[in-house]
Amino acid sequence: MEQLSISHGGSNSNKVDISCWDLGGQEQLRDSWRLYYEQTDAVIFVVDAADSARFPTARQVLQGLLKNEPELRKAVLLVLANKQDVKGAVSPAQLIEALDLGAVNDRTWTLMGCSASTGDSLREAMSWIVQKLADRTPAADA
């Protein structure tokens, strides 16, 4: 497990501090995810868009997080369709359907295609998270 801390913004009134934990998706690790739910404002769920055989499992795990974990009920959701650079990767629209994200109407969410190996769209993905969190943070002088 890795932790990454990110600060974004110039002044204290619009600064967003982000701490990220990279939690493995293997089945034997999923029970430990709950240790990190408290005070979670955003979830980044990464799916291998080139491995359609695992989409049903990804759908089940993601839907379980969204429906069964009260600590995550206010968290914004970013789903990353990774490996867009790999032949056979499904499009973001196809992954939205495969994960049944169209039924998610109780939180702010988006799905973006990306490539972790090339870095494509990762900056845009983090910018989306930062913007959504900044939109929810009251201004210091308000």
* Separation CA 98–CA 84 (nearest Å): 16
* Separation CA 92–CA 77 (nearest Å): 15
Q: Give the rounded distance of the alpha carbon of 118 from its chain centre.
A: 19
Residue 17 assigned to a binding site: no
Token duo for residue 118 = 């090339």
Residue 28 bears catalytic tag: no
Residue 20 lies in a domain: yes
Residue 39 assigned to a binding site: no
pLDDT tens digits along 56-107: 999 999 998 899 888 889 999 999 999 999 999 999 999 999 999 999 999 9
* Containing structural domain, residue 118: 2-136
Residue 83 assigned to a binding site: yes
| CATH code for position 16 | 3.40.50.300
CB 79 within 8 A of CB 98: no
Domain count, the chain: 1
Amino acid at residue number 98? A
> Is it the case that residue 1 has pLDDT exceeding 60?
no
pLDDT tens digits along 114-132: 999 999 999 999 999 989 9
pTM value surpassing 0.75: yes
Residue 142 lies in a domain: no
Residue 141 lies in a domain: no
